[in-house]
A and B are shown apart, each in its own frame.
Chain A
Amino acid sequence: MPTKSQKVNKSTNLYDPLEYRATEYALATYTGLAFIHIAKNKQDASVKADATSKSSATSSKKSPPLYEVQKLNEVYLKDRNVSRFVEYVEDKFAVCLFKDDHIYLVNRKKESVVAKIKNPLGKSCNYEICVIPNFHLQTLPFLFVRDDKSLYLLGVGENYLKLLKLHAAKYESVTSY
């Protein structure tokens, strides 16, 4: 499960399943966009309580870790090398793959890759993808994408899926690295 993670679902939700998702995190891995669940170890509190009441023989036992990590079965773009991603609205991700000429939109509610947008400059190493200031899915649905060739605006609105080149890199990489 190699790699880099980013926080998902920062906001608190009212709907129960999403409340659970507040403790889930997405990982960009060499084998796809994966998800983990991090929770405080429930045994921890009980062990501490036990430790105070029991003899020294039991207190010498190693206490369990404070947090537990559980890998979820949910994986998108399986076996692909995910280089960067951003959750631009709840459960919607824009995902970049290493040396690929598309950016993929993943919808967790639909449990699928719902769109892919072609990079007009071809395969690239994507270094950054982030939402623009004042991002709004209806009124200002754009992300910044930076790769080794250019800086782009990526439209992720329902009727506007497009990559717009903003500024070419001063020294473009021929080898895409």
Chain B
Amino acid sequence: MKELSKEYLITRGKYNMLDVLEIGTLKYVKTLDTKGCGVFSSISHLETQRAYTGCYEGNIFTIDLENLSILKDGGTSKLKQGIYDMVILPNSDRILVCAQHFGYLEFVSTENDKLTVLEGGV
């Protein structure tokens, strides 16, 4: 379970899909389809109204917090391993650093809602 924004949180539901709940009431709002991928981690960027979730197979999904939907075109990406945790670097580049199983760290650009894996991962 992770806080998505001030209003919503997400939790893993049936068939590994993501259920969105209201924070104040825990009322079910909607389900986001992650195509069977079990999400491990997430991080939100409220200034741009985007959240990023990582799954155990290395997929990243971008969530539009205004419409509570997963972005399709370019909004998903696949890394080497399962993503345990993510941080957004504190600068204007909005680079995601993804910490993965077996110690991989990868940098992912989120520019223009297009997820691009950058050089420099270790």
The residues of A with any CB-CB pair to B shorter than 8 Å are 1-7, 10, 22, 25, 27-29, 36, 38, 40-41, 62-69
Contact (Cβ within 8 A) B97 A38:
yes
- B79, CB-defined interface residue at 8 Å: no
B95: nearest chain-A partner, CB-CB: A67
The 10 closest A-B pairs by CB, nearest first: A65-B120, A4-B84, A5-B99, A1-B103, A65-B119, A2-B103, A7-B87, A4-B85, A69-B122, A67-B120
**Shortest beta-carbon distance from B39 to chain A in Å:** 14
Other contacts beyond A5-B105, A22-B90, A40-B91: 4, CB < 8 A: A6-B87, A36-B105, A66-B119, A67-B107
Contact (Cβ within 8 A) A68 B103:
no
B97 proximity list for chain A (CB < 8 A):
5, 25, 38
Q: Once the chains are docked, how many angstroms separate the CA of A18 from the CA of B15?
A: 44
Q: Once the chains are docked, how many angstroms separate the CA of A69 from the CA of B99?
A: 12
- B29, CB-defined interface residue at 8 Å: no
Taking a contact as CB atoms closer than 8 A, the residue among A6, A29, A65 that contacts B103 in the complex is A29
**Shortest beta-carbon distance from B51 to chain A in Å:** 15
The majority secondary structure among interface residues of chain A is: strand
B3: nearest chain-A partner, CB-CB: A130
Q: How many residues of B contact A (CB 8 A)?
A: 21
Q: Once the chains are docked, how many angstroms separate the CA of A28 from the CA of B41?
A: 14
Q: Once the chains are docked, how many angstroms separate the CA of A62 from the CA of B119?
A: 10
Contact (Cβ within 8 A) A27 B99:
yes
Contact (Cβ within 8 A) A3 B99:
yes
A5 proximity list for chain B (CB < 8 A):
84-85, 87, 97, 99, 105
Taking a contact as CB atoms closer than 8 A, the residue among B95, B101, B107, B119 that contacts A3 in the complex is B101
A64 proximity list for chain B (CB < 8 A):
119-120
B85 proximity list for chain A (CB < 8 A):
4-6
Q: Once the chains are docked, how many angstroms separate the CA of A175 from the CA of B15?
A: 25
Q: Mark B80-122, 1 if CB is under 8 A from A, else 0.
A: 0000110101110101010111110101000000000011101
Q: Once the chains are docked, how many angstroms separate the CA of A73 from the CA of B101?
A: 21
Contact (Cβ within 8 A) A69 B103:
no
**Shortest beta-carbon distance from A154 to chain B in Å:** 19
Q: Once the chains are docked, how many angstroms separate the CA of A36 from the CA of B103?
A: 12
B41 proximity list for chain A (CB < 8 A):
4
B91: nearest chain-A partner, CB-CB: A40
